[in-house]
Structure 1
Amino acid sequence: MTYFLKASLFLLVMFSVTTSKAQLYKNNIREYKARIPGEAAKLIKSGELFLTADSLSQTFKPNGYGPIAVDLESMKKKKLEPGKIYNRVAEATVIVSPTGKCGELTERGTECEKIHSYPATGYIIDSKGIIVTNYHVANGYVTKNNTTSRDVMIVMLKDGTTFPVTEVLSADQANDLAILKIDPKGRKLPALPIATKDAEIGDPVFIVSHPKGFFYAFSSGMVTDKFSENNWRARQYRNIMAISADFAAGSSGGAIIDQFGNVIGTVSYTKTLQHSDDPSKTQMILKATIPAAELLKLIKEGNIKK
């Protein structure tokens, strides 16, 4: 009997140790999806001064932006295991979302009080609160097509702490990049280093993003192609780095990471490649990202039109 009790206690201790090291299963709805409108509602009711869509739109400069002062992290050179890459990158990955009161009239003729949100991804590059995301994410807040979420654009950290965007530091439609500012109120934020050397085809890549409400999902793959394309909206060519790691709607603005933990690109878009004889058949999905060199150029040189 004594032997049985000792053996049982040993197994119980081992089970406790094992389970204490296991990763927890997050609740995407409770921890993030439902929390985003809740935090936005608090900000809206607080009376705190922040940029509404109408006021933020005025900070979009049609002639471009000059260089911006950013305290960038040094490039990392030590190869990391995927799990360590995830832990490090997740802490510096944020949710970027336009939010606001619905404002539409209900069937009863009263104003709808529901808070709408459209979460995308971003990442921190300066511990004082400088965030990178896509141009189309920031522009999605200010465009007149957005009629239901124009009160505050929020940035939510992994732990749920939420800040309003206070400024657009730079925006580049040609390369689908936007650099935003928040006030972390003295908190030093985890930031990601940006690679100063281009990734090559075949290099491994990793992404932490929020595809379709699966917040802080991890994906890996490799660089599959590098090419130039005509960005017809901006009427100029841009460089694209295609990858095989998965991402989807909600991943926009996420960081593409190398095996050392450096940013080598930013998620931009996906394109479905269909069979030429039968458009209903999908053959491949092209996953396009903006190389880090374009981000560094935007930071250091700006994009003022001459």
Structure 2
Amino acid sequence: MKHFSKTIFLILTFLVGSIQAQELYKNSISTYKVGLKLEAEKLINAGDVVSGDSLSTMLKAKGYNPIDINLKSMQKKNLSPSEIYKRVSEAAVIVSPVGITKRVGKNGKAHKDINTYPASGYIIDSEGIIVTNYHVVSGFVYSKNTKARDVLVVMMKDGTVFPVKAVLAADKTNDLAILKIDPKGKELPALTVATKDAEIGDPVYIVSNPKGYYYAFASGMVTDKFSELKIGGYRNIMAISADYAAGSSGAAIIDQFGNVIATVCYTKTLNHSDNPARTQMVLKATIPASSLLNLLHKGN
């Protein structure tokens, strides 16, 4: 009996040690994927939401006034990559439409599905002002999105989830949207926005949520700067080499000091001219910080 008890003790000790070792790494499924659904469902059931229909009246391509916002002064101290990740990840958020749909299974029983479409964003004011892409918000409010129109939520790294209460400004041409949440008295971590655009060759960093890999970190450099014609006029684009993918929309591009220098916009696959099925390069396009500052300070 003593031998049996000792064996059980050793097994439990091993299991606890293994669990503790695993906890050194984040669990994207339980912490973010499942947590997002559970916390959003609580908000929906409590009625603490602004629906897609209600938010749609606030989303427009232009016609916004300047925003009264207290932006932090630019950071000037060089940071190590690990310091950048720590600072940025605290203010980086998951932005996701959420909706509850009901269906009847093959067995005739009723089932409930919680639908989410996570993207990215970042906090620029500790009182709850968030930047993301216009297309992230428009994907929530348009009626063609029939499965996730109950609430648009913002999830922080620690798992806290807030419902979006308002669209403060939006710019379809530059693919930017400024959102407001109510942090309920909590002072949120916020990023500084650069007042000077980066130059080609400058280092860049990004914390985003590509394809369910929440709070992933990548680095690279500014590879190009150009303008392109969109509906509504020309916009400036800053291309970078740091990796991102679907789910990264709205994420902040960061310089070596921890300042926001751009916002993720899109990717474009460049294929071989003689073999269209062969990918040669992926262009990663971002909107420079100057476009964000224009929207904040001048409106559109």
Is the structural similarity TM-score above 0.5?
Answer: yes
Q: What residue is the counterpart of 1:41 in the other structure?
A: 41
Map Cα deviations across residues 142-182 of structure 1 (whole Å, 9 max, x no partner).
11221100101110110001100000000110000000000
Deviation at 1:106, TM superposition (A): 4.8
Distance in 2, Cα, partners of 1:299 & 1:270? 25
Compared CA separation, residues 63 and 242, structure 1 to 2 (3 A): closer
Q: What residue is the counterpart of 2:283 in the other structure?
A: 286
Structure 2 gaps of 5+ residues are: 1-19
Alpha-carbon contact 1:242-1:289 (below 8 Å) kept: yes
Deviation at 1:113, TM superposition (A): 1.6
TM-score (norm 2): 0.90
Q: What residue is the counterpart of 2:25 in the other structure?
A: 25
Compared CA separation, residues 241 and 164, structure 1 to 2 (3 A): same
The one-letter code sitting in structure 2 at the alignment partner of 1:299 is L
Alpha-carbon contact 1:192-1:262 (below 8 Å) kept: yes
Map Cα deviations across residues 194-223 of structure 1 (whole Å, 9 max, x no partner).
000010000000000000000000000000
1:160 aligns with 2:164: no
1:204 aligns with 2:234: no
Compared CA separation, residues 63 and 26, structure 1 to 2 (3 A): closer
Deviation at 1:65, TM superposition (A): 0.5
Distance in 2, Cα, partners of 1:111 & 1:125? 42
Compared CA separation, residues 253 and 45, structure 1 to 2 (3 A): same
Q: What residue is the counterpart of 1:195 in the other structure?
A: 194
Count of residue pairs the alignment pairs up: 280
Distance in 2, Cα, partners of 1:163 & 1:25? 25
Deviation at 1:61, TM superposition (A): 3.1
Bigger share in strand: 2
RMSD, aligned α-carbons: 1.7
Distance in 1, Cα, partners of 2:182 & 2:36? 18
Compared CA separation, residues 106 and 150, structure 1 to 2 (3 A): farther
TM-score (norm 1): 0.88
Distance in 2, Cα, partners of 1:136 & 1:96? 12
Alpha-carbon contact 1:210-1:250 (below 8 Å) kept: yes
Percent identity among equivalent residues? Answer: 64
Distance in 1, Cα, partners of 2:107 & 2:292? 49
Q: What residue is the counterpart of 1:15 in the other structure?
A: none
The one-letter code sitting in structure 1 at the alignment partner of 2:37 is P
Question: What SS does the corresponding residue of 1:146 show, helix, strand or coil?
Answer: coil
Deviation at 1:24, TM superposition (A): 2.3
Alpha-carbon contact 2:124-2:192 (below 8 Å) kept: yes
Deviation at 1:53, TM superposition (A): 0.4
Q: What residue is the counterpart of 1:297 in the other structure?
A: 294
The one-letter code sitting in structure 2 at the alignment partner of 1:267 is V
Q: What residue is the counterpart of 2:98 in the other structure?
A: 99
The one-letter code sitting in structure 2 at the alignment partner of 1:260 is F
Alpha-carbon contact 1:64-1:172 (below 8 Å) kept: no
Distance in 1, Cα, partners of 2:259 & 2:23? 24
